């Protein structure tokens, strides 16, 4: 099981890179259009094009990535707690938070420092807020979320061990409520009673992700009970997964039209959550199935946090270099996307390998976790 979960981590981080590369694809399609076409920006003429739907399919496919990270983190936390302890040890939580926090602060400062060099004005208050909420780059929100989840695990672990069904139901209902609030915000509905709960949808807050972490903890403690049930339904789940994938694409387009806006930032929806859940159930249910590229992808899984930390830097400056020096490439997504993906995955792995083989290897864990 451990090796398969490392494989899942590898697949998840590859999908994260794909996701953020597709995000730059949308930027080039709508906000950088004037670099390769005689138009003013933002320009949404390519909305509904083949390239647009190709990016949307990538965006939909990778939805399971963050839930998978959280599930695996919860599972290994349950594993570290053991069978005889009532809750997780403080030393375990301290070590995990430290291994997340120090590299996160280093790379956040690198990203912000580069922005300041390029002309951004940043006050001390803004700097602190950015670090607390993971806004140095789009991807970093996940790290404060995971730290928050580790900190509340002192209370979550005993409940997940003893009342696992109730905990799954309650965290699932919380996630459904937050999705309801998110729909209200996307559609611009005026429901004053829900406005006090808007903050719960913040990307850097653990509330939107608690179910996936809890699911991992519960599975870590109770997989002998849960696994046979997953195996029984796995084929139905696999078939449903394909259907829900296309429903997710349709749902987002319907939301975009209903919102009355030209564009809304990608956000997880109810269908997305169903898709992510079905993916995890299928992955766990087909435990004995052979997985392609097991060794290579599992190795990437062991380096997933380092890739996660560095891939945004690689994507940002690869995209900007293309913007300034090869702008015509921005309009050719079938070339632009592979270049971004290769940079987003390859450069972090190369940097980690160079560090591991150089005198700087003593700082490897500080830089990459």
Sign of the dihedral through C-alpha 60, 146, 362, 131: positive
Q: In whole angstroms, give the CA distance from residue 32 to residue 320.
A: 10
Angstrom distance (rounded) from CA 331 to CA 37: 9
* Separation of first and last alpha carbons in the chain: 22
pLDDT at position 220 is 94
Domain spans of the chain? 1-46+290-369, 65-256
**Cβ-based neighbours of 160, under 8 Å, separated by 6 or more:** 78, 167, 214, 217, 218, 221
CA distance 143 to 368: 13
- pLDDT, tens only, 307-361: 999 999 999 999 999 999 999 999 999 999 999 999 999 999 999 999 999 999 9
What is the reported pLDDT for 50? 96
As a whole number of angstroms, the distance between CA 21 and CA 203 comes to: 19
Contact 276, 63 (CB under 8 A): yes
Per-position DSSP letters for 266-295, written without gaps between them: ----HHHHHHHHHHHHHHHHTTTS--TTHH
- The per-residue pLDDT for 88 is 85
Strands (E) in the chain, as ranges, are: none
Q: Which two tokens stand for residue 289?
A: 């199935």
Q: In the structure encoding, which two tokens stand for residue 243, read together?
A: 């259907």
Query: pLDDT of 12-52, one tens digit each?
Result: 999 999 999 999 999 999 999 999 999 999 999 999 999 99
User: Which stretch of DSSP H or E encloses residue 178?
Assistant: helix 164-187
Note if the pTM is more than 0.85: yes
Q: What is the mean pLDDT of each run of 10 residues along the chain (369 residues)?
A: 91 98 97 96 95 96 96 94 81 94 97 93 94 95 97 94 95 95 92 92 94 96 93 96 96 92 88 96 91 94 97 97 97 97 98 96 94
Six token digits for residue 66: 């963050």
Give the model's pLDDT for residue 290. Answer: 87
């Amino acid at each position: 099981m451990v090796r398969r979960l490392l494989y899942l981590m590898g697949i998840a981080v590859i999908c994260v890179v794909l996701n953020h590369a597709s995000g730059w694809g949308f930027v080039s399609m709508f906000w950088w259009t004037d670099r390769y076409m005689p138009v003013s920006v933002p320009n949404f003429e390519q909305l509904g094009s083949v390239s647009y739907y190709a990016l949307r399919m990538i965006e939909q496919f990778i939805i399971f990535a963050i839930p998978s990270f959280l599930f695996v983190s919860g599972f290994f936390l349950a594993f570290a707690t053991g069978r005889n302890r009532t809750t997780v040890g403080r030393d375990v939580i301290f070590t995990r938070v430290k291994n997340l926090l120090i590299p996160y602060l280093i790379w956040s400062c690198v990203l912000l420092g580069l922005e300041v060099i390029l002309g951004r004005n940043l006050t001390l208050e803004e700097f602190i807020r950015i670090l607390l909420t993971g806004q140095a780059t789009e991807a970093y929100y996940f790290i404060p979320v995971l730290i928050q989840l580790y900190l509340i695990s002192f209370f979550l672990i005993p409940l997940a061990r003893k009342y696992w069904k109730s905990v799954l139901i309650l965290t699932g209902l919380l996630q459904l409520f937050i999705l309801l609030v998110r729909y209200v915000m996307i559609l611009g509905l005026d429901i004053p009673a829900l406005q006090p709960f808007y903050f719960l949808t913040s990307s850097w807050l653990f509330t939107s992700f608690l179910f996936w972490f809890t699911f991992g903890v519960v599975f870590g403690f109770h997989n002998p009970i849960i696994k046979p049930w997953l195996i029984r339904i796995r084929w139905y789940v696999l078939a449903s997964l394909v259907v829900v994938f296309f429903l997710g694409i349709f749902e987002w387009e319907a939301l975009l039209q209903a919102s009355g806006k030209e564009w809304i930032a990608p956000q997880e929806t109810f269908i997305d959550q169903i898709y992510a859940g079905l993916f995890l159930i299928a992955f766990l249910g087909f435990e004995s199935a052979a997985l392609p590229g097991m060794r290579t992808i599992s190795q990437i899984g062991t380096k997933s946090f380092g890739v996660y930390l560095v891939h945004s830097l690689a994507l940002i400056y690869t995209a900007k270099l293309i913007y300034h020096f090869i702008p015509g490439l921005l309009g050719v997504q079938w070339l632009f996307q592979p270049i971004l993906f290769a940079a987003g995955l390859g450069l972090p792995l190369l940097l980690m390998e160079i560090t591991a083989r150089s005198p700087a290897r003593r700082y490897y864990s500080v830089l990459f976790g």
